[in-house]
Amino acid sequence: MFSRITAAGSYLPARCMENRELEDALETTDAWIRTRTGIRRRHLAAADERVCGMAEQAARRALEAAHVDPGEVDLIVVATSTPDWMFPSTACLLQERLGAPGGPAFDLQAACAGFLYALDLVDKFIRAGTARNALVLGVDIMSRLIDWKDRSTCILFGDGAGALLLQAAPTPGVLASRLHADGRRHALLRAPRPGGPEAPAGEPAFLRMQGREVFRFAVTLMQQAAEELLRESNVTVEQVDWLIPHQANERIIRALAKRLGLPMEKVILSLGEHGNTSAASIPLALDNAWREGRLQRGQKLLLQSFGSGLTWGTALVDL
């Protein structure tokens, strides 16, 4: 038994913030943001919007695309760093909304690499025969973790949700997957739990990042991981149809593609429209490209992500 991606869905909040809206409040410009990151705009959740509601929108779109009844879902894994509740998990709330009780449902936190961690896990559930119709999601409302006065971070992030439906199949869809972490680098990118022991007393708990270092590690670690996975899978770079990287910074993506020897024509770039949506990044980019008709069944996809922890992961998928 193997797992196959049979459908994708995604959701972006209605409110869209252009770079130039940040110019007045911060010492920044649309030109700086575009040339240093590739980001043009980001979507922001409304005050009454919830991670669970965004997850539901993305999940329903994936299920509709596959003509699968929500009641048939027997496993839900949600990658998020910004859940509505400490507990219950977003996945349990989503399970109730979809009306699919009984199977396991849980959240997983590996920051921006969370989606590939979840995909790896769900693939193993299906291969073991313990799930047949699984939803794997990445959802984050980063705008609530951001210090909107810190121009080195607030320009980068946006809110969004992405979902893939993975189903049991006789031939492999997820061909190979590897996960990595290096906890020695945890201080490079972190956000304290609001009200927790690491949050500054009486102040909001914001994300802080050493951007230049994260940039450097991201390119090197993702290159190594991709080359290792391709070698182990006996797949050449030329056989890869699309690289779908974490949509964090276009310069990181271009550097990675160059090192791997992949032309930019084979790289999915959607961050210009939504910025870094953390765990939602890869399923959002994948869904956009699939709905635009760029991705085709039978193509080989190389998925790559990195994030706080540091964590990173890579997966090779036959669509």
Instruction: Give me the residues that bind ligand UT7 (CB under 6 A), please.
Output: 28, 32-33, 36-37, 112, 151-152, 155, 209, 211-212, 214-215, 248-249, 276, 307
Specify whether the CB–CB gap between 229 and 243 falls below 8 A: no
Tell me if residue 246 is catalytic.
yes
**Least Cβ distance, residue 212 to ligand UT7 (angstroms):** 4
Question: Catalytic annotation on 276?
Answer: yes
Q: Say if residues 300 and 235 touch (Cβ distance below 8 Å).
A: yes
Residue in 19, 246, 249, 288 annotated catalytic: 246
* Residue 147 buriedness (CB in 10 A; 0-12 / 13-18 / 19+): middle
Q: Is 186 a catalytic residue?
A: no
Nearest to 54 by CA among 43, 66, 41: 43
Please state the closest distance from residue 162 (CB atom) to ligand UT7, in A. Answer: 15
The Cα–Cα gap between 259 and 185 comes to 23
- The single residue of 43, 52, 92, 112 carrying the catalytic annotation is 112
Residue 129 three-state SS? coil
CB closer to ligand UT7, 112 vs 302: 112
Question: Which residue number, 149 or 231, has a Cβ lying nearer to ligand UT7?
Answer: 149
Instruction: Tell me how crowded residue 299 is: count the other CB atoms within 10 A of its CB.
Output: 13
Structure tokens at 46: 């409304």
Q: How far is the CB of 211 from ligand UT7 (least distance, A)?
A: 3
Q: Which candidate in 19, 133, 276, 288 is catalytic? A: 276
To the nearest 10 degrees (0 to 180), the angle between helices 51-66 and 281-291 is 40
Q: What is the DSSP letter of 192?
A: P
Give least dist CB 318 to ligand UT7, A.
Answer: 27
Residue among 122 and 209 whose Cβ is closer to ligand UT7: 209
Tokens of 156: 């980068």
The nearer residue to ligand UT7, 115 or 242, going by C-beta atoms, is 115
Least distance (Å) between residue 247 CB and ligand UT7:
9
Contact 157, 209 (CB under 8 A): no
Question: Smallest gap, in angstroms, from Cβ of residue 165 to ligand UT7?
Answer: 25
Q: Output the residue with the shortest Cβ distance to ligand UT7.
A: 211
What CA–CA distance (Å, rounded) separates 25 from 125?
Answer: 47
Any alpha helices (H) in the chain, and if so which ranges? Answer: 20-23, 30-37, 51-66, 90-98, 114-127, 151-154, 211-232, 250-260, 271-274, 281-291
Alpha-carbon Rg for the chain in angstroms:
18
Q: Between 181 and 235, whose beta carbon lies closer to ligand UT7?
A: 181
Of the pair 209, 262, the CB lying nearest ligand UT7 is at: 209
Contact 249, 156 (CB under 8 A): yes
Give the catalytic positions in this structure: 112, 246, 276
